[in-house]
Amino acid sequence: MTRLITSIDDAKALEGEEVGLSDWIVIDQNRIDEFAEATSDHQWIHVDTERARRELPNGKTIAHGYLTLALIPALTGKFIEVRNLTRAINFGLNKVRFYTPVLSGARVCARTTVLQARMRAGALLLTFEVRIEIENERKPACVAETLVSRLISSFTFMHRHAV
């Protein structure tokens, strides 16, 4: 379910709330290989399936941690809708931790909580905790504190009762 934000009050009311759980997506070897090409990170633990079969504990390659992180916008993009939005900009990360490797063929999803909502330079700045969970694993692959700036076209957004 998409959460609609029409005012700063709506946004602040979401602080501490889980706002979304994404569908599962498969992290297959093709996705890992494409990420390796895009980033020039061809470390064998990611791309050499034969060597991984012989040398890694689970016998599978491991997805890049940054691949997991890069999926956050796609996995979480439909959790919140901001009325009068002109554009959304990834503002950065406060903290990122990688806890459990994502093996080739694993399924992951994103669970997102709003940590903070505030106005900054005329934009709504939302801070989220995003947990990338791995199917059938106790610990998440990644926990990231992300910041997204949402630029709004209308000044009426500032307060619910504004004229």
**Which residue ranges form the domains of the chain, and what is each CATH number?**
3-27+63-157 (3.10.129.10)
Average pLDDT over residues 71-80: 94
pLDDT at 162: 46
pLDDT at 114: 97
Cα angle for residues 125, 127, 128 (degrees, 5° grid) = 140
- pLDDT at 163 exceeding the cut of 50: no
Average pLDDT over residues 78-93: 86
pLDDT at 122: 82
Burial status of residue 85 (CB atoms within 10 A of its CB: 0-12, 13-18, 19 or more): middle
Whether this prediction's pTM lies above 0.85 is answered by yes
Nearest to 35 by CA among 131, 104, 91: 104
Task: Answer positive or negative: Cα dihedral of 63, 75, 152, 158.
Answer: negative
Question: In this structure, what are the phi and psi dihedrals at residue 83, rounded to the nearest 5 degrees?
Answer: -65, 140
- pLDDT at 160 exceeding the cut of 60: no
pLDDT at 157: 52
Average pLDDT, the chain: 92
pLDDT at 161: 47
Residue type, 108: V
Rounded to whole angstroms, how far apart are CA atoms 95 and 1?
27
pLDDT tens per residue, range 96-108: 999 999 999 999 9
